[in-house]
Amino acid sequence: MRFWKRKKNRACVVGLDGVPIGLLQRLAAEGVMPRTAAIISGGGLRAMRASLPPISSVSWSCFMTGANPAEHGIFGFTDVAPGSYQLRFPTFGDLAVPTFWDELGKKGKRCAVLNQPATYPAREFPGALVSGFVALQLSNSVWPKSHLPALEQIGYRIDVDSKEARENADGLLDDLEATLRTRRQAAGYFWKQEEWDYFQVVVTGTDRLHHFLWRAVEDPDDPRHERVMRYYHTVDEFIGGLWDRFHEGRSGDREGEGFIMLSDHGFTGLRRDVRLNAWLRDNGYLSYAVDEPASIADIDPEKTRAFALDPGRIHVNTKGRFVGGSVAPDDVPALRQELAERLTALVCEGEPAVERIFTREEAFRGPKTELAADLVLISHDGFDLKGTTKGDDVFAPSHFQGMHTWSDAFLWTLLPMSDDPDVSDPASHIMQWVLG
Amino acid sequence: MPKGFTLWFTGLSGSGKSTLAERVRDTLLERGMKVEVLDGDEVRTNLSKGLGFSKEDRDTNIRRIGWVCHLLTRNEVVAISAAISPYKAIRDENRKLIGRFVEVFCKCDIDTLKDRDPKGLYEKALNGEIKNFTGVSDPYEAPDKPEVIVDTACEDIEVSVNRIIATLEQLNYIPAGDGRGYSEEEEESIKQRLKDLGYI
């Protein structure tokens, strides 16, 4: 009789923020990302739906909990504070359900998670956590704090300077490269330092790149195209390095099993901002109490039947839901339908701006459904649905080049998973794998 | 200065109401708030001494607790009630009376409660030694729309406490605490970051 030790299943997850499946396939096919090309060549790549709305804080919260926004409680980067119309900014503490890392921790597994958006401020964690966007200070982004000196020594950068990025495209590329460099160093540190069962790193530079320099990604004639491709090549080398380390000394495993890559939403080129609050005001649904509204807090609640929050979230100003609610609950369905019909018909230079509209009940399921927007709008490519209260024109040029998309995030895995996944789907499968 | 409110725990015996009430009380005390806990078992030994477990007596007990919570709340104290409070109508009556009322449903399946049974009550109730025992021989009406549901059968106490505190912060009943919410300065920085990326 032989004594044997049960083999541990480990997982390594690489997040590429804001990378659409089409771009990944193209960069792989064109030789910009050869390591990724080799990984995906054996199958396992599929398109994945992002959260509604398709933004990082919501999508990553879905990924890390396996739950719907009406369960985990994160509906956007902003929400309306109870008892007022002031904007509030949800924190990691607002996440209403445990992450799957917490669940793994309860079963004795350890996780090392680096640069995870929507986890700021960092809190008690079964292993090591470094928060990503919108993390402010590094000191509040690290759990346990014992890792802080090592990260400081690396010169770890949480994110690029987006304010600077708008003014200086070459400076942004310098910043992206430097940030990725420190991310790789930090990943190497945690890989060795932590005895992990689950390892994850998210590259957020891809999202920043797409916001500011999408044209350089898409257009080979753009003067910065080559440098942007070099950035992607560096990302690919990072992925390849993680792949190699993941397989070191594990020859008995099926290659790639437990290694997962995904994005939290897709991206496309941006042609026009669509200011939904300007449209609501022009069409008699919204009124401001001041001449120059700074935010939704400046609406005149009595004269406002609906207002929009970023991105594409329309709330009916319902009595009982909002402090100055003006619409009786019985009138909400008809108003929703009216808004949906009129917004579907919204046209910019002959082209429809809105592709699809989800009602709250279609988009959300869970105990917090009543806190969700009444309608969530998905635009046609090129039309970025904004919740700003500034500006008179409904359609306006943007100083950004790219915008998020909903249905073309990607997932690559060899674990048995749906061919038509939603970003909430991988959590349970990854857990099952790690728990063996 | 923060105003008072009532945090009303409801759930079957052994579902974690008293434990959570104590933990939440400690957190609120640390944040400099005035807090009073009205624990169901303690109330029955003084405020409601002599009352039994008929529906009428149970309703009287819960109305009394509600009245004391009402007085505490209007005097800017945080009142925490941790009694089974099985009937929805009486809880709703208290909600109406108090106004600033946050209901926490301590959900826990009966099998877990039987296993847990810290006071040995389920065993006695199942053996017929205790009559009118909620969840076994007396009804329990779960709330339709509590502000917080904590599943104490599978959640860690820490997670439940954090969720209750987060809800109180979200409702603006308590100021955001260390590491949980943002200071005004941090909020400005976050706003700027979101603007820089076109997210607001």
Complex ipTM value: 0.91
**The pLDDT of residue B176:** 63
| Contact list, A214 vs chain B (CB under 8 Å) | none
SS3 A54: coil
Selecting from A81, A98, A136 the residue whose C-beta is nearest the C-beta of B186 gives: A136
pTM over 0.80: no
pLDDT in tens, B8-29: 999 999 999 999 999 999 888 8
A77 interface with B at CB cutoff 8 Å: yes
Residue A371 and residue A75 in contact, taking contact as beta carbons nearer than 8 Å: yes
**Sheet of strand A11-16, all strands in order from the earlier edge strand to the far edge:** A45-48, A409-412, A259-262, A11-16, A198-203, A111-116, A127-131, A142-143
Give B33→chain A minimum CA distance, Å: 20
Contacts of A121 in chain B (CB under 8 A): 179-180
Integer CA distances (angstroms), A348 to A211, A378, A380, A418, in order: 22, 15, 11, 37
* CATH code of the domain in which B124 resides: 3.40.50.300
Query: In whole angstroms, how far apart are CA A164 and each of A7, A80, A115, A232?
Result: 48, 29, 21, 21
Chain B CB contacts of A165 below 8 Å = 196
Domain range for B176 is: 5-196
Residues of B with catalytic function: 85
Closest B-chain CA to A164: B196
Assess B153–A contact: CB distance below 8 Å, yes or no. Answer: no
Residue A168 C-alpha, separation from nearest chain B C-alpha, in angstroms: 13
Q: What is the pLDDT of residues B133-170, one digit of tens each?
A: 998 889 999 999 899 999 888 777 877 888 898 888 77
Size of interface A-B (CB pairs under 8 A): 74
Give Cα B69 distance to the centre of its chain: 12
Is A123 an interface residue toward B (CB < 8 Å)?
yes
Does A134 sit within 8 Å of B194, measured CB to CB?
A: yes
CB contact under 8 A, A94 and B190: no
Q: A94-123 b/e with 16+ CB inside 10 Å = b? A: bbbbbbbbbbbbeeebbbbbbbbbbbbbbb
DSSP H helical segments within A168-275, as ranges? 169-193, 205-218, 225-247
Quick one: tokens of B28? 């609120």
C-alpha to C-alpha distance for A213 and A99, rounded to whole angstroms: 33
Instruction: Give bridge partners of residue A309 from the DSSP assignment.
Output: A313
Q: How far is CA A417 from CA A48, A69, A260, A434, in A?
A: 11, 21, 12, 15
Provide, as residue numbers in chain B, all residues whose Cβ is less than 8 Å from the Cβ of A81.
170, 172
Could you tell me if B48 and B192 are in contact, meaning their C-beta atoms sit under 8 angstroms apart? no
Helices (H), A309-378: 332-344, 360-363
pLDDT tens-digit series, residues B26-80 = 888 877 788 999 998 899 999 999 998 889 999 999 999 999 999 999 998 999 9
User: Domains in chain B: how many in total?
Assistant: 1
Is residue B2 predicted with pLDDT exceeding 60? no
Per-residue confidence (pLDDT) for residue A83, from 0 to 100: 72
Structure-block tokens of residue A434:
């790690």
CA distance A341 to A264: 29
Tens of each residue's pLDDT in chain A, 436 residues: 444 555 689 999 999 999 999 999 999 999 999 999 999 999 999 999 999 999 999 999 999 999 999 999 999 999 998 778 989 999 998 898 999 999 999 999 999 999 999 999 998 899 999 999 999 999 889 999 899 999 999 999 999 999 889 889 999 999 999 999 999 999 999 999 999 999 999 999 999 999 999 999 999 999 999 999 999 999 999 999 999 999 997 766 688 999 999 999 999 999 999 999 999 999 999 999 999 999 999 999 999 999 999 999 999 999 888 888 999 999 999 999 999 999 999 999 999 999 999 999 999 999 889 899 999 999 999 999 999 999 999 999 999 999 999 999 999 999 999 999 999 999 999 999 999 9
Radius of gyration in angstroms for the set of CA atoms belonging to chain B, rounded to a whole number: 19
Three-class SS state of B143? coil
**How far, in Å, are A160, A365, A423, B44, B159 from residue A67 at the CA level?**
29, 9, 9, 41, 16
* Interchain CB contact of B182 with A (< 8 Å): yes
- What pLDDT is recorded for position B1? 35
For A128, the token pair is 């090591």
Question: What DSSP character marks residue A314?
Answer: E
Nearest to A175 by CA among A187, A192, A158: A158
* β-bridge mates for residue A79, sequence order: A88
Given a contact cutoff of 8 angstroms between Cβ atoms, the answer to whether A200 and A427 are in contact is no
* Domains along the sequence of chain A with CATH: 11-268+405-435 (3.40.720.10), 272-399 (3.30.1360)
Alpha carbon distance B37, B43 (integer Å): 10
Q: How many CB atoms lie within 10 A of CB A150?
A: 15
- SS3 state at A192: helix
Chain B environment of A102 (Cβ under 8 Å): 156, 159
For Cα atoms A48, A52, A54, give the angle at the middle one, nearest 5 degrees.
65
A165 at interface of B, judged by CB pairs closer than 8 A:
yes
Residue to test with chain A: of B190, B192, B195, most A Cβ within 10 A: B190
Task: Output phi, psi for A152, to 5 deg.
Answer: -65, -35
**Cβ contact A310–B199 (<8 Å):** yes
Determine contact: A388 vs chain B, CB below 8 A: yes
For residues A206-240, one letter each, b for 16 or more C-beta atoms within 10 angstroms of the residue's C-beta and e for the rest, the string is bbbbbbbbbbbbbeeeeebbebbbebbbbbbebbb
Q: How high is the pLDDT of residue A1?
A: 43
Q: How far is CA A163 from the centre of its chain?
A: 20
Taking the CA of residue B154 and the nearest CA in chain A, the distance in Å comes to: 10
Do residues B7 and B145 lie in contact, with contact meaning Cβ atoms separated by under 8 Å? no
Give residue-wise pLDDT tens across range A342-394.
999 999 999 999 999 999 999 999 988 989 999 999 999 999 999 999 999 99
User: What's the confidence (pLDDT) of residue A201?
Assistant: 98
Note whether A117 and A124 are within 8 A (CB). no
Residue to substitute from A100, A134, A276, A431, interface B, most B β-carbons within 10 A: A134
